[in-house]
């Protein structure tokens, strides 16, 4: 099998050609109902297929939220496998939003589930949690590097509760979030044009100039749309690192379904607004 380019290289190219946007595939029960679908496996499959068919050939990143598939057991996972494969085949980069984090052999197993190119859930990147220590993510870092895949590590999330952990400081006064960002910058050292190891940083957090956000890697920015942030907010939040932001929008796009034209027009509008905001 031909060696795959690093995720950071592929992401930079996708953002430059398709626009800097990540659209979540989040089949909430309420969204299924809004689309006129049953909250069951058939509705899940129809929702996911429609989203992929509408967007996978034109947006940079699609981000299925694993939990909404897992809730249906093995049948839901089968839909997730098909969603990932079809989205990647159509040209989108797939970011699996699973937020896994553990130690030792368990972390290795999570990495194998999502970052092994031979596996049915292989994705271009995976969200992970560093709160057992950044070093505990080593199996995922190694698996991602070997596969040409990427990671997005929780750093400064958009939920208010996250601050009690992420902004807690150690004996030297350094916050947990700053430590995570430092590790990411070290992991991306020397990568061009963009490293493969990114941070999750909420677009709703306001001024983050106290943090070194330029980790030479992508910054996944949830909070655009339904959570209240807009593309115009990105420069103020991310400063010079805004050029590497991948805004994540879910309900803001998905609520325009199930019509293909509605999904496509909404995604294109968000991508254009981000381009205008960050240049």
pLDDT at position 136 is 98
Q: Is residue 250 part of a domain?
A: yes
Active site residue 82: no
pLDDT digits (tens, 9 = 90+) for 85-130: 999 999 999 999 999 999 999 999 999 999 999 999 999 999 999 9
Q: What is the mean pLDDT of residues 2-18?
A: 93
> Could you tell me where the DSSP H helices lie in the chain?
7-18, 29-34, 41-55, 66-70, 73-89, 104-115, 138-147, 163-166, 176-187, 234-238, 251-254, 260-278
What pLDDT digit, counting tens, does each position of 51-92 carry? 999 999 999 999 999 999 999 999 999 999 999 999 999 999
1 pLDDT higher than 50: no
Contact 182, 212 (CB under 8 A): yes
Query: Which residue range(s) make up the domain with 67?
Result: 7-274
Contact assessment for residue 123 and residue 85, using Cβ atoms and an 8 Å cutoff:
no
Does residue 108 sit within a domain? yes
* Residue 279 included in any domain: no
Residue 226, pLDDT > 80, answer no
Q: Is 75 exposed, middle or buried (0-12, 13-18, 19+ CB in 10 A)?
A: middle
Catalytic residue among 13, 28, 82, 99: 99
Looking up residue 33, the CATH number of its domain turns out to be 3.20.20.70
Pick from 183, 257, 188: nearest CA to 216 = 188
| Domains: count for the chain | 1
Q: What's the pLDDT at 2?
A: 56
Q: Does residue 1 lie within any of the structural domains? A: no
Whole-model pTM: value is 0.97
**Is residue 2 a part of any domain in this protein?**
no
């Amino acid at each position: 099998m031909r060696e795959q380019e690093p995720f950071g290289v592929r992401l930079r190219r996708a953002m430059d050609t398709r626009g800097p946007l990540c659209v979540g595939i989040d089949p909430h029960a309420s969204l299924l109902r809004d689309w006129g679908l049953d909250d069951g496996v058939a509705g899940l499959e129809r929702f996911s297929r429609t989203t992929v068919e509408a967007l996978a050939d034109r947006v940079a990143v699609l981000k299925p939220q694993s939990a909404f598939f897992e809730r249906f057991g093995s049948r839901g996972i089968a839909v997730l496998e098909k969603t990932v494969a079809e989205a990647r085949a159509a040209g989108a980069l797939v970011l699996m939003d699973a937020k896994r984090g553990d130690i030792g052999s368990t972390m290795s197993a999570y990495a194998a589930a999502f970052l092994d190119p031979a596996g049915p859930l292989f994705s271009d990147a995976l969200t992970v949690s560093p709160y057992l220590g950044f070093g505990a993510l080593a199996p995922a870092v190694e698996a991602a590097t070997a596969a040409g895949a990427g990671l997005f590590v929780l750093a400064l999330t958009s939920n208010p509760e996250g601050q009690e952990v992420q902004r807690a400081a150690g004996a030297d006064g350094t916050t947990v979030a700053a430590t995570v960002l430092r590790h990411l910058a070290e992991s991306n050292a020397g990568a061009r044009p963009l490293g493969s190891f990114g941070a999750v940083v909420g677009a709703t957090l306001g001024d983050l100039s106290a943090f070194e956000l330029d980790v030479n890697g992508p910054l996944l920015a949830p909070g655009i749309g339904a959570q209240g942030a807009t593309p115009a907010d990105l420069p103020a939040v991310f400063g010079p690192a805004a050029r590497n932001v991948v805004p994540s929008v879910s309900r803001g796009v998905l609520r325009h379904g199930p019509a293909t034209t509605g999904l496509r027009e909404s995604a294109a509008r968000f991508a254009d607004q981000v381009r205008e905001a960050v240049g």
